[in-house]
């Protein structure tokens, strides 16, 4: 199961992540997913710079939506989290050496699904948690979903080693 993840992000379990039972608090797993998601997306930059449609990623404009405060120099388009879930398998403790696997499992017209797995960095069969995030490509000005740029879809295909046809 673990080999299907093209990206692994090493975790640093901090003392502040622990709850009174001395294991990682359930809410912190979502932060681990977020850190790994961010790392995965940063790895896409090499393909995004090469691919067509980069202008859709780089278009700049002030936000007009009062619920999305991006500032005057922010991008007009970007990602928002629509949904995130976690299934806990084993408690993580401070001495565990763990990593988070990230993969894109589905790409739609305006959104995509990422799967996450937190496993032991040395014993890969030992899985602490699995998760799923639904990410939406959004026009920050309107606050509404917007079609994914072709360059982003192509970057996912390069990273994942498979195709994600554009839905009709």
Q: Which domains does the chain have, with CATH numbers?
A: 7-50+74-160 (3.10.129.10)
Contact present, 100 and 36 (Cβ < 8 Å): yes
Quick one: which of 145, 147, 146, 140 has its CA closest to 65? 140
Neighbours of 16 (CB within 10 A): 7
51, two tokens: 């691919």
Residue linked to tokens 């894109």? 104
pLDDT for the residue 63: 45
Give the CB-side neighbour count of residue 144, counting CA atoms within 13 A. 3
pLDDT tens across the length of the chain (168 residues): 446 999 999 999 999 999 999 999 999 999 999 999 999 999 998 878 764 444 444 444 444 666 666 655 556 888 999 999 999 999 999 999 999 999 999 999 999 999 999 999 999 999 999 999 999 999 888 889 999 999 999 999 999 999 999 887
Rounded to whole angstroms, the Cα distance separating 84 from 82 reads: 7
């Amino acid at each position: 199961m673990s080999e299907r993840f093209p990206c692994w992000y090493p975790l640093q379990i901090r003392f502040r992540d622990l709850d009174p039972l001395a294991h990682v608090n359930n809410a912190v797993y979502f932060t681990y997913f977020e850190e790994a998601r961010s790392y995965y997306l940063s790895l896409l930059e090499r393909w995004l710079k090469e691919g067509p449609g980069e202008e859709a990623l780089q278009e700049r404009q002030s936000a007009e939506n009062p619920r999305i405060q991006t500032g005057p120099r922010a991008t007009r388009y970007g990602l928002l989290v629509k949904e995130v879930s976690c299934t806990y398998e084993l408690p993580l403790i401070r001495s565990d050496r763990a990593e988070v696997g990230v993969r894109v499992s589905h790409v739609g017209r305006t959104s995509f699904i990422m799967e996450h797995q937190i496993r032991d960095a040395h014993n890969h069969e030992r899985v602490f948690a699995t998760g799923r995030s639904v990410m939406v490509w959004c026009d920050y000005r309107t606050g509404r979903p917007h079609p994914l740029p072709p360059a982003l879809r192509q970057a996912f295909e390069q990273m994942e080693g498979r195709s994600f046809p554009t839905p009709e």
